[in-house]
Amino acid sequence: MNSLKASDIEIVGFNGAPLVECGRSLPIAKRKSDGQHCVLDLSRGVDTLVWHSQEEATSFAEARQWTELVRSVSIPNACVESSTGSVITQPMMVFENETLLDVANRVPRPDHHDLEYLIWQPLKVGDSGCFATCASGPAVEAILDDWAQGLLKRFDAMFGQNPDRADLKRIADFALCAARSRELRRKAYLRYAATQEPDRMKRTFDRFIHTEFPKENWDCFLNELKTLRDILKVLPITTTVTQVDPSGCSTRQSLRDIANDKPLNLVAK
């Protein structure tokens, strides 16, 4: 089996295009010795990597299949075996749009994670407010979760400020985009649902929340919405909903009870 030497590799971009405000992707690596490019996916071994010429790489970037950085960055030390200099752990790219950090009340774009130093670079094309860096998988997960936590804190801080529904929804949407841990994703979903009209809450639960958290049930979810009653008080419930939940309590009445801080007589299944 061949090895991939970190000294012969530079990261010049990431796979795909930044269609959302933040995310992670596999790196695009360039071999210094011959100028060949590849999507650096070590999941099936170094020998399976498919290398492409500069002309092909340019074509992929023009087709928005790859996204290029303004300047290349190095393989993170955390992904390199110190004794051999070989890349042994999967590096990942993390990218963000500055709008997301602004909405999160300027949560930081970190310059390090533990002992990993992060060199952020703007993207070669597209929105000048987008930046990306390469880090180990655990570092990327932690960075995204930090941003999600910042967004959720901003959301919670706006509870009593009579914000526009669209503003709250945008923050919750960004938090869902960032959140990697199941706990944070669940919190983000709860807040996202709470920004919607009552008839849409049930649809959001069925299509997204229950799909990702199959053990979740609607009654328990309504009980948790009760703990966010301050949100619902600033989001007047005006839509009539006729659907009846399994407990026999109409969704409309349940949501009004939440908004009025009344107990819900629901039984978790």
Which residues neighbour 1 within 8 Å (Cβ) at sequence distance 6 or greater? 45, 46, 47
- Tokens 């669940």 sit on residue: 186
Per-residue pLDDT of the chain (269 residues; tens, 9 = 90+): 578 999 999 999 999 999 999 999 999 999 999 999 999 999 989 999 999 999 999 999 999 999 999 999 999 999 999 999 999 999 999 999 999 999 988 888 999 988 899 999 999 976 678 999 999 999 999 999 999 999 999 998 886 676 788 999 999 999 999 999 999 999 999 999 888 887 788 888 888 888 999 998 888 888 887 777 665 555 543 333 333 233 333 334 433 443 333 333 323 32
Nearest Cα neighbor of 269 from 207, 193, 202, 210 is: 210
- Two structure tokens written together for 251: 């969704």
**Domain residue spans of the chain:** 6-148, 158-259
Which residues neighbour 183 within 8 Å (Cβ) at sequence distance 6 or greater? none
Question: Is 79 in contact with 88 (CB distance < 8 Å)?
Answer: yes
Question: Is 204 in contact with 192 (CB distance < 8 Å)?
Answer: yes
Chain segment 161-197, per-residue pLDDT in tens: 767 889 999 999 999 999 999 999 999 999 998 888 8
Chain segment 101-113, per-residue pLDDT in tens: 999 888 889 999 8
